[in-house]
Amino acid sequence: MNSVVVVHGGGASSISKDRKERVRLGIIQAATTGYNILKEGGSAVDAVEGAVIVLENDPEFNAGCGSVLNVNGEVEMDASIMSGEGLSSGAVSAVRCIANPIKLARLVMEKTPHCFLTGQGAAEFAAAMGMPTVPGEQLVTERNVKRLEKEKQEKDAQKPDQQKNLGTVGAVALDSKGNVAYATSTGGIVNKMVGRVGDTPCIGSGGYADNDIGAISTTGHGESILKVNLARLTLFHIEQGKTLEEAADMSLGYMKSKLKGLGGVILVNKAGDWAVKWTSASMPWAAAKDGKLHSGIELDDTNVIDLP
Ligand code: GLY
Ligand code: GLY
């Protein structure tokens, strides 16, 4: 089986020591879940959705339960998914009160003639699809309440916005039929305006998948990623003959030099090559291939273990 799954848990300025082990376990669980889906004959789309659901359900990550809070202390989430077979794609933005926005993005892809639903329309579509709502407070964690308070106190101090607000979760996969896919999901940026939409649900910024080139999921400062179309830009460099690593370095380097924007990417192609790159201080990631699971959080801390 040539299948691969790669996941990320968001670019981050720093991850405290006490969170590191929980973050590592969460990212490994997501990659293992995606890989098992492929092993059991699931598609690349099934695998990226399954991996992202694990991260949306894990309060350590900025997506689903664990999303950062907007200026009013509420959770508003963005997500997108794409199949490299035929460029099918689905996205939702500014959704509230659902546990797994990535499931809704997949339903947009598969059950509507559209690519992208937002706000009220997305909520009505979720209800029509029988997706249960959850009380908004159920997605709010104590850590994010404190983060919002701190952000409001520190506003304008310390680091510029594009160097600290970096969380997202995502996955890319290649299945045994040679199809690639990506999924990306986020709560966005802490203290964001109500209705702010980031890069994550925007095809070409939050991710892209084309069987002829590969699949990519991005993380980092949303406004910077949108301005450079980070996902499609990276794949453009691959189309021009660059390796996955070279392409990622070029596009992340461009975003940093143009905008001082930091972020990260995960990539896979139909040959089964994969890459992880980031310019933020850290980016939890894991990759499963050939029965091995590779993972890391910071530079030079890669672990490799056998998958069960
Ligand atoms: N170009 C207009 C639309 O498709 O919404
Ligand atoms: N990259 C996540 C966001 O800015 O919303």
Cβ count near 212 (within 10 Å): 11
Out of 62, 92, 166, mutate this one to test ligand 2's pocket (max ligand atoms within 8 Å of CB): namely 166
pTM across the whole model: 0.96
Residue 249 phi/psi, 5-degree rounding, is -60, -40
Q: Is the CB of 186 under 6 A from ligand 2?
A: yes
Catalytic residue ranges:
168
Q: Do strands 274-278 and 292-296 pair parallel, antiparallel, or not at all (unpaired)?
A: unpaired
Q: What is the pLDDT of residues 61-70, one digit of tens each?
A: 999 999 999 9
Q: What is the pLDDT of residues 115-172, one digit of tens each?
A: 999 999 999 999 999 999 999 999 999 999 999 999 998 865 555 555 565 689 999 9
Out of 76, 189, 255, mutate this one to test ligand 2's pocket (max ligand atoms within 8 Å of CB): namely 189
Which numbered ligand comes closest to the C-alpha of 114?
A: 1
Q: Is the CB of 222 under 6 A from ligand 2?
A: yes
Picking from 183, 180, 34, 55, the residue whose alpha carbon sits closest to that of residue 107 is 183
Walk me through the domains of the chain, giving residue ranges and CATH numbers.
4-306 (3.60.20.30)
Q: What is the pLDDT of residues 30-79, one digit of tens each?
A: 999 999 999 999 999 999 999 999 999 999 999 999 999 999 999 999 99
Ligand 1 center–CA 119 separation, angstroms = 18
